[in-house]
Amino acid sequence: MGRIPAINQRFTGAYQATEQAQKIEELQSEVEHLRAAQSPDLEAQLEVLREQLKLQSGELAIEVALIQANPHQPRQTITSESIQTIAQSLEKDGQITPLILIPRGKHYLIWDGQRRWEAAKLLGWQTLQAVTAPMPKDLHRKALLTFIHHEDLNPLDKAEAIVKEIAESTGITADEIPTMLSTVLRRLERAQLINQLTGLVAGTPEVQQQGLRQLDIGEKEMSLLLALLDLGLNPASVKANLLSMLALPTDLKQAIRERGLKGAHALALASLSAKTLRTSERQATKERLAVTQQMIDQDLTVAKTRELVSQIKAKYLNSEPTESKEIAIATKGLERLSSDTLKAINQNQLAELRQVLQKKLAEIDVILSK
């Protein structure tokens, strides 16, 4: 009977596939678990809050005109497209979830539901269903922490929200923050201490405080870095990826907010400045707007954008007027015409010369006056 081949070996591939599939499933559930633990599910949290508030104050119909946008709303970017989509769904299905509002005197600030509010205005609705919540002490911080690790927040909004929060918690002015951060980071870089700083991101507040003390930095700088670490942010990447957004020209900021321009693209476009192109601000802005349009229309990659940018730069820098030999020779020739020579030639020829010179002068005037 032993002569019949065993079946076990025939299953080697199937065993491997089974084991692999199981490992993948385990890893996936672990990832899900970690994700849930790391960034709290926004919708779920809001749902709980909404239910609590409904029980406390009940659902109210609030006049759309009395509702105000929250100036601390970190999501500054609300595209008209997303509002259109929400308006359509409001019109079709009605309002399903109530807004969360904070009463302020006669008015209400939006805690959650900015886009539904914008959509309702678009539809000409008079009222919206809402629940109200008391004003939290640290509205901005709470809103920020819920949004900060949210992927759909663009880097510009993120940067502004972070600077605002840091300014509030440390007392350093918003203008000072970018400069102070780059100064201290540059110093740490030179002292090769950047890795030590980055290592503190995952630490407890005590570890962070202690770690910062060893870096030999000023009091203000310390509170700045501590505030960033406290938000779970790596100061070096905040500087590299976010603060550069704040220095962008207005047209690019606007494109990020209203037309979904990506951060990396914006940085590439920003190098088309009046200074690098050696041209006027107006001309530089015009170039940027044209490329931005092209990028959005054609959905260009960052690499392609950079290529386009360098083409434009080349166009400007090469077209710099060069000295022309021809002109130099002509000028010299004219100078060499002594008054004796002019006197000696016939009137017709002289009149002809005058005509040519006058024509050339007019052309030169036009070019120079540009």
Partner 1 sequence: MPKQQSRQIVVGILANAGGVGKTTLAVHLAYALSKRGCSVALIDLDPQRALDVFCGLPSVEAEDSLVRVLSKDFVGGWPLVRAWNNPNIEVCQGHPVLSQISDDLVIRRRGEYTLADRLQSHPLRHDVVILDCPATLGMICENAIAASTGLLVPIQLEMKSVSGVADLVQWAIAISDDLQLKPRPPILGLVPCLYDNSRAIHRQYLRQLPDVAEQLQIKLYPQIRDSSEFKNASANGLPLQKYRPAHPANRDFEDLAHDLAALARKGKW
Q: Provide the binding-site residues for partner 1, judged by CB under 8 A.
A: 1, 4-8, 10-11, 13-15, 17-18, 20-22, 25
Q: Which of 138, 142, 143, 149 is nearest to 37 (CA)?
A: 149
Pick between residue 29 and residue 88 the one whose CB is nearest to partner 1.
29
Report in angstroms the alpha-carbon separations of 360 from 117, 337, 338, 346, 357. 65, 17, 20, 22, 5
For residue 2, the minimal CB distance to partner 1 (Å) is 9
Query: What count of residues does the chain have?
Result: 370
Pick between residue 7 and residue 367 the one whose CB is nearest to partner 1.
7
Pick between residue 48 and residue 350 the one whose CB is nearest to partner 1.
48
For residue 88, the minimal CB distance to partner 1 (Å) is 23
For residue 27, the minimal CB distance to partner 1 (Å) is 14
For residue 55, the minimal CB distance to partner 1 (Å) is 18
Report in angstroms the alpha-carbon separations of 127 from 60, 98, 130. 9, 11, 9
Pick between residue 11 and residue 315 the one whose CB is nearest to partner 1.
11
Pick between residue 11 and residue 361 the one whose CB is nearest to partner 1.
11
For residue 24, the minimal CB distance to partner 1 (Å) is 8
For residue 145, the minimal CB distance to partner 1 (Å) is 30
Which residues 6+ apart lie within 8 Å of 210 measured at CB?
none
Tokens of 222: 């310390």
Give CA–CA dist 275/181, Å, rounded. 25
For residue 14, give the 3-state DSSP assignment.
helix
Q: Which of 204, 239, 203 is nearest to 221 (CA)?
A: 239
Pick between residue 14 and residue 344 the one whose CB is nearest to partner 1.
14
For residue 366, give the 3-state DSSP assignment.
helix
